[in-house]
Homo-oligomer: A and B are copies of this chain.
Amino acid sequence: MLCLSSLHDLAKVENLIRQKFASHAPRLREICAYLFDLGGKRIRPAICLMTAKALQFDTSSSQDLVDVAAGIELIHMATLLHDDIIDNAQLRRHSQSPYLKFGLGDTLLSGDFLLVRAFSLCAHLDQYIIDATERACVELTEGEILETPLAKVTHSIDSALDIARRKTASLFRLACESAAFLARPGDTVITHFSAFGESLGMAFQALDDILDVTASEDLLGKASGTDIREKKPSLVNVLWLKSGDPVAARMLLGEESVQDQQIADAVQFLRGSDVIIEARKIARSFAVEAESRLDEISRLVEVDLPSFQGLKDLVSYCIERME
């Protein structure tokens, strides 16, 4: 479905990622491989490769591109390991989370290990990419630490979107910006690709927030309504609060924990509500922004059509999954 045009290069990236699990401590290898084998869309390396290809960059001969794509996925993996600890998550992709399976200490250290491996992959690259990587990673930790539960800190739609921009869109932006930088199409196009990545990332995070309520547990690979349980400043939760529903205030602003039945009822209610309609509208606006950046790029440079179409398909995929 996704990223078909870059399958060969993606295999190279995946091989490099696996090589980076090498360690004198078998446990580090084991935990990293376990997480990697849980699967995933590998969307960050995929958009990195598709961006470069779209700019007619010879992706097959650029080790730098493979390094960037692998580095970004390794950073993403590190955040998954650490997020599960922070969220006390028991499930990931229908399986035991690494945190549940391997325990806090070893999972935490494996995340550190992956961060180190990621940085060393990027360290030999142009200072532009190093700076962009630092910025994205700093934003990532900022986004996570700013994501204080609604019961503790007041959030607005703006602050919720700012968090999404930092914690999710930053790595999407980095993937597109770094790949565009390597293809050297000129500053304007790099800026457009950077903005495209950010908007796509925002659409993905909004989609994630929506699916937490609208998708089945089977599709999610974990319980629905997790954002409600954790009183997260997700787009849906913030819109629900803003709607003035006293149930939202009671469940999300109270200190006490929310019962399973309450979450099931809330999910049921939200699925058909104006809250989700509003969330979709905002998500769609990011997808539209991403599309308009692509249109702009295609006016400025000659693009490789299949890869360019792949990027457009990603945006459409995002819109379709929302409905």
Contacts and interface: CB of A to CB of B under 8 A. Distances in A.
A322 interface: no
Interface in A21-53: 23-25, 27-28
Contacts of A28: 141-142, 145
A106 interface: yes
Contacts of A25: 141-142, 145-146
A138 B114 CA distance: 9
A112 B111 CA distance: 9
Contacts of A120: 130-131, 133-134
A111 to B, nearest CB: 8
A104 interface: yes
Contacts of A119: 115-116, 119, 123, 134
A104 B88 CA distance: 11
A316 B249 CA distance: 63
A64 interface: no
Interface in A70-121: 78, 82, 85-86, 104-106, 108-113, 115-117, 119-120
A62 to B, nearest CB: 19
B130 A127 contact: no
Contact of A86 (B105, B115, B123, B131): B105
A80 to B, nearest CB: 12
Given A23-B142, A104-B86, A130 B124 contact: yes
Given A25-B145, A116-B134, A145-B28, A108 B124 contact: no
A112 B115 contact: yes
Give the oligomeric copy count: 2
B109 A145 contact: yes
Task: Tell me if A's interface is mostly helix, strand, loop or mixed.
Answer: helix
B138 A116 contact: yes
Nearest to A141: B113
Contacts of A23: 138, 142
Given A24-B142, A138-B23, A142-B28, A104 B85 contact: yes
A256 to B, nearest CB: 18
A315 interface: no
A233 B267 CA distance: 49
Nearest to A147: B105
Max count, chain B CB within 10 A of own CB: residue among A86, A112, A134: A112
28 contacts: A23-B142, A25-B141, A25-B142, A27-B145, A27-B146, A78-B112, A82-B109, A82-B112, A85-B105, A86-B105, A105-B144, A108-B108, A109-B144, A109-B145, A111-B112, A112-B115, A112-B137, A112-B141, A115-B115, A116-B119, A116-B134, A116-B137, A117-B138, A119-B119, A119-B123, A120-B133, A120-B134, A123-B134
Given A82-B108, A116-B134, 12 more contacts: A23-B138, A23-B142, A24-B166, A28-B141, A106-B145, A112-B141, A113-B142, A117-B134, A120-B130, A120-B134, A123-B134, A124-B130
Interface of A: 23-25, 27-28, 78, 82, 85-86, 104-106, 108-113, 115-117, 119-120, 122-124, 127, 130-131, 133-134, 137-139, 141-142, 144-146, 166
